[in-house]
Structure 1
Amino acid sequence: MESIDGTSNANIDRAEELKILANEAFKANRFSQAIDLYSQAINLNGYNAVYWANRAFAHTKLEEYGSAVQDATKAIEIDPKYSKGYYRRGAAYLAMGKFKEALKDFQQVKKNCPNDPDATRKLKECEKAYQKIRFEEAIAVKDSQRHSVADSIDYHSIEVELQYNGARIEGEVVTLDFVKKMLDDFKNQKYLHKRYAYQIILQAREMLRAMPSLVDITVSDGHHFTVCGDVHGQFYDLLNIFELNGLPSEENPYLFNGDFVDRGSFSVEVILTLFAFKCMTPSAMHLARGNHESKNMNKIYGFEGEVKSKLSEAFVELFAEVFCCLPLAHVINDKVFVAHGGLFSVDGVKLSDIRAIDRFCEPPEEGLMCEILWSDPQPQFGRGPSKRGVGLSFGEDVTKRFLQENNLDLIVRSHEVKDEGYEIEHDGKLITVFSAPNYCDQMGNKGALIRFKAPDMKPDIVTFSSVPHPNVMPMAYASNFLRLFS
């Protein structure tokens, strides 16, 4: 027997079985496996809107919002009255910061389910968020007319109360004793005084501003160098990295490859720690910009809310300014290229082109700077659309050509959660490293770091598990509407 659309009953039954297995994988937070099983169900019966909407939700969990929008759109095409299709697409648009598109979808959900209190509440939140963004855009000052916040701050004039018993910087120099005391305070959920927070951020800004967009790092023979991936506000896991691999010093230098903040609810502690080490010993701490070091992301994923809660509104602008000073890429010993996202939509990009990027701005929506922060590798050759809806996917041939043209051996990038904390792809020429274990308290992944020793610069990968943290949920400071959907 066949159904009206030509799908056999056997296929329909098998597709349902696969959907049940996919749902179980989803509940166990095995989202890649769920996507695979939903895909198998879709191959057997592509006319069931539920399969597409469910796969969209699994893509959302892996931050593959571009793919989620595509799947949800397909569900809507199959069944224009299927509310969950609009709902899933709206949630994916929200996560991308596309409020106008999200609003349209939630209006449609409300239209389909006029008496559903949940739909009403979410539509209201979405409208509020959209109005707020519109208002902020209306009053925003053009970049060319904006005065630097940093220039208007004199931290010397800020009084430190006698009863403050936290870490103190004596004079202008950030010392190891200060950093250790600060880390200890953070561990016990104490805050750093605003005066010292300003001092660290402003000193880090001066250093970062003076650097090129692509930084060359030299590791002398017999010495080593450590590269870490995304930390995403997981401060207690950052402490564990230093526990396992030693504190940053001239003899033990680190590069943190972007996405220091957002999602995890200890982002302020993470960023102040990294900046403090930068101030203490500039050569011990290298920092690259990630796609989450941007206003747009920080507004949605928690850093802005956390900064307002732990420091003050004034710091939000200051961090935004400093994030625009972060370098975009590093090359270690002329061999290893390190950047947060990956490669480009065109061939022939030279290191000199990356050096020439004017990076002192919010990330644009296209071009080299956008791509270096957002792109991902793909198993197929060539280039393809991004799963995220920003940047692109690039294949092994693209990786090898870039390495060859720039006389390099290896690409190290971050940007994607990996079960083992890392993944080696593209015939060993590309490594993804991700340093936030049990990401968002739910992915169950390991974290990893890579140690390189000169002169051979072969990657030595160390993996580690998550450690306990105080009972503050990830996304605790994220925008209201996003929490409703996660």
Structure 2
Amino acid sequence: MDSQVTENAKLAEKYKEDANQCFNNQDFNQAIELYAKAIELNPNVAVYYANRSFAYLKTECFGYALTDADKSIEIDKSYVKGYYRRAAAHMSLGKFKMALKDYETVTKARPNDKQAKMKYTECNKIVKKMAFEKAIAVDDVKKSIADSINLENIVIEDDYSGPKLEDGNVTLEFMEDLMETYKKQGKLHRIYAYKILLDVKQLFMKQSTLVDIAIPDDSKFTVCGDIHGQFYDLMNIFKLNGLPSPSNPYLFNGDFVDRGSFSVECIFTLFGFKLLYPEHFFMSRGNHESQTMNQMYGFEGEVKAKYTAQMSELFTEVYNWLPLAHCLNNRVLVMHGGLFSRDDVELTEIRNIDRNRQPPEEGIMCELLWSDPQPQNGRAPSKRGVGVQFGPDVTKNFLEKNDLDYIIRSHEVKSEGYEMAHDGKCITVFSAPNYCDSMGNMGAFITLRGKDLKPTFVTYKAVPHPDVKPMAYANSLLSLIC
């Protein structure tokens, strides 16, 4: 019996070494499988769980990462890396107070660890800032950033030669000029940036939480998934599929920003087209169109670097008004995340969501932004730690209840850029190829025609971009993760 235990322990170590190699090669899913094999053979080794936790962090399975970090600490309460991993998982989920406790444990165990001290200090700053903002917030009268902006006080410098709005309006010429300027790493003047944000906020405020889109029989319609600040890949989509226009309408299904370091360029391009073609260009909110995500994953830092802190607050206001879902010809529902923890959700309930807020941690608004499909029937706790995982039976019941054909969602990296799950009734589309310059995935978009709404997939590889690394503007605490 002892020899078998020894043999298992040796083999488990071999799996761990192989997993570490896969991790170093950025094959995180294979690493996760190999760590799991090591755990199966020898389940009482803290490092196996901590390593798998790190791999889960890399694949954005923050819920699983948290569970594994907890397990590594349960096995060995003095295992410092376990606390590091748990802190990173808490940070990724925006649970800053809980992360702070773990960083405190690390700094006490390693008082000379400069990196641990820095992370504790940074996390402490965020917690204090949030406490301060909560203390000064007035619940009944929250002053709008939009109302405090006076465009007449903004001066256009004589040497500015970039794109200019025509009589305050977006035109096709302006959009073409803007995209060319961005390709050359130029910048839009802040007066026009603010004007676009103020105008697009007014436009989104008039839209429903669930937007109905009518696609004529012979017309093409394109659905794109996550863009994540990959501006040059966004330009490639337009090159492959044509610029947006009344005869070439688009729906971008959330996560326009964060991670990629050209998020400002992406969002102003998308908002510009929304203003130019309000009835033919659509945008859904993703889980990254939120203040907490933007604080952590780069967008807030990028806006502050390229513009102002005030503008980053205005973006938060605008994002609160983004629609949460779109329905194509009353047959196909499109949302960023997925379905629900309840079986009785109807489209009317989605229409009636009060969306002008930061995403809650539970309920149907949260699930629209965060949920993921799973292959087995039923539901399970989310691998991300937010939302729910839902099976083919859940999709089937929802479609039957609401007289729909299928759903389209985004939110997950897929190696081919898309995936058809749940007997073809749950389609994932992800439009950021070689996500974070490291995943090696294809990007994809979906085209369909009004008469049959049959999805056609177009896939493409990443294109070159200027030498600015992903997460260049992200919070320094995330250096543990990315």
TM-score range, shorter chain: over 0.9
Instruction: Measure the CA separation in 2 of the matches of 1:350 and 1:416.
Output: 24
Tell me if the contact between 1:72 and 1:85 (Cα under 8 Å) persists in the aligned partners: yes
Instruction: Measure the CA separation in 1 of the matches of 2:418 and 2:481.
Output: 28
Question: Partner residue of 1:121?
Answer: 118
Sort the Cα spacing of 1:449 and 1:210 in 2 relative to 1 into closer, same or farther, 3 A. same
Give the counterpart of 1:94 among 91, 110, 120: 91
Question: Partner residue of 2:228?
Answer: 232
By how many angstroms is 1:289 displaced? 0.4
Give the counterpart of 1:276 among 269, 272, 277: 272
Task: Answer yes or no: is 1:40 the counterpart of 2:58.
Answer: no
By how many angstroms is 1:484 displaced? 5.2
Please list, as runs of the form range in 1=range in 2, the aligned pairs for 1:186-225 lying within 5 A after superposition. 186-225=182-221
Amino acid at match of 2:130: I
Task: Answer yes or no: is 1:376 the counterpart of 2:372.
Answer: yes
Instruction: Measure the CA separation in 2 of the matches of 1:151 and 1:454.
Output: 40
Question: Partner residue of 1:135?
Answer: 132
Amino acid at match of 1:112: A
Question: Structure 2 length as normaliser, TM-score?
Answer: 0.97
By how many angstroms is 1:76 displaced? 0.9
Sort the Cα spacing of 1:84 and 1:201 in 2 relative to 1 into closer, same or farther, 3 A. same
Cα-to-partner distance string for 1:168-194 (whole Å, 9 max, x where unaligned): 112032110010001111111111011
SS in 1 for 2:198: helix
Instruction: Measure the CA separation in 2 of the matches of 1:63 and 1:113.
Output: 28
Instruction: Measure the CA separation in 2 of the matches of 1:300 and 1:137.
Output: 19
More deviation in 122-131 or 356-365?
A: 122-131
By how many angstroms is 1:151 displaced? 2.6
Give the counterpart of 1:255 among 251, 254, 277: 251
SS in 1 for 2:338: coil
By how many angstroms is 1:485 displaced? 4.6
Task: Answer yes or no: is 1:63 the counterpart of 2:99.
Answer: no
Task: Answer yes or no: is 1:9 the counterpart of 2:18.
Answer: no
Percent identity over the alignment is 57
Instruction: Measure the CA separation in 2 of the matches of 1:158 and 1:113.
Output: 50
Instruction: Measure the CA separation in 1 of the matches of 2:8 and 2:58.
Output: 28
Question: Partner residue of 1:83?
Answer: 80
Runs of 4+ in 1 over 6 A off after TM superposition: none
Question: Partner residue of 2:261?
Answer: 265
By how many angstroms is 1:102 displaced? 0.9
Instruction: Measure the CA separation in 2 of the matches of 1:151 and 1:106.
Output: 39
Gaps of 5+ in 2: none
Amino acid at match of 1:450: I
Tell me if the contact between 1:67 and 1:389 (Cα under 8 Å) persists in the aligned partners: yes
Task: Answer yes or no: is 1:430 the counterpart of 2:426.
Answer: yes
Cα-to-partner distance string for 1:3-28 (whole Å, 9 max, x where unaligned): 8xxx7222212211211111111111
Gaps of 5+ in 1: none
By how many angstroms is 1:157 displaced? 5.1
Instruction: Measure the CA separation in 2 of the matches of 1:418 and 1:233.
Output: 17
Sort the Cα spacing of 1:114 and 1:172 in 2 relative to 1 into closer, same or farther, 3 A. closer
Amino acid at match of 1:313: A
By how many angstroms is 1:31 displaced? 0.9
Task: Answer yes or no: is 1:412 the counterpart of 2:408.
Answer: yes
Amino acid at match of 1:172: G
Sort the Cα spacing of 1:195 and 1:118 in 2 relative to 1 into closer, same or farther, 3 A. closer
Cα-to-partner distance string for 1:403-434 (whole Å, 9 max, x where unaligned): 11111111110111111111111111111111
Give the counterpart of 2:106 among 102, 106, 109: 109
Tell me if the contact between 1:417 and 1:439 (Cα under 8 Å) persists in the aligned partners: yes
Question: Partner residue of 2:299?
Answer: 303
Give the counterpart of 1:353 among 349, 369, 374: 349
Task: Answer yes or no: is 1:319 the counterpart of 2:315.
Answer: yes
Cα-to-partner distance string for 1:414-460 (whole Å, 9 max, x where unaligned): 11111111111111111111111111111111111010112011110
Sort the Cα spacing of 1:482 and 1:138 in 2 relative to 1 into closer, same or farther, 3 A. farther
Tell me if the contact between 2:28 and 2:59 (Cα under 8 Å) persists in the aligned partners: yes
More deviation in 269-278 or 151-160?
A: 151-160
Task: Answer yes or no: is 1:30 the counterpart of 2:27.
Answer: yes
By how many angstroms is 1:124 displaced? 2.6
Sort the Cα spacing of 1:172 and 1:124 in 2 relative to 1 into closer, same or farther, 3 A. closer
Give the counterpart of 1:285 among 281, 296, 317: 281
Amino acid at match of 2:121: K
Amino acid at match of 1:25: C
By how many angstroms is 1:273 displaced? 0.4
Tell me if the contact between 1:213 and 1:359 (Cα under 8 Å) persists in the aligned partners: yes
SS in 1 for 2:389: strand
Instruction: Measure the CA separation in 2 of the matches of 1:126 and 1:404.
Output: 46
Cα-to-partner distance string for 1:79-109 (whole Å, 9 max, x where unaligned): 1111111111111111111111111112222
Sort the Cα spacing of 1:200 and 1:120 in 2 relative to 1 into closer, same or farther, 3 A. closer
Amino acid at match of 1:282: P
Amino acid at match of 1:184: E
Instruction: Measure the CA separation in 1 of the matches of 2:461 and 2:279.
Output: 28
SS in 2 for 1:225: strand
Task: Answer yes or no: is 1:178 the counterpart of 2:174.
Answer: yes
Task: Answer yes or no: is 1:477 the counterpart of 2:467.
Answer: no
Question: Structure 1 length as normaliser, TM-score?
Answer: 0.96
Aligned residues: 482
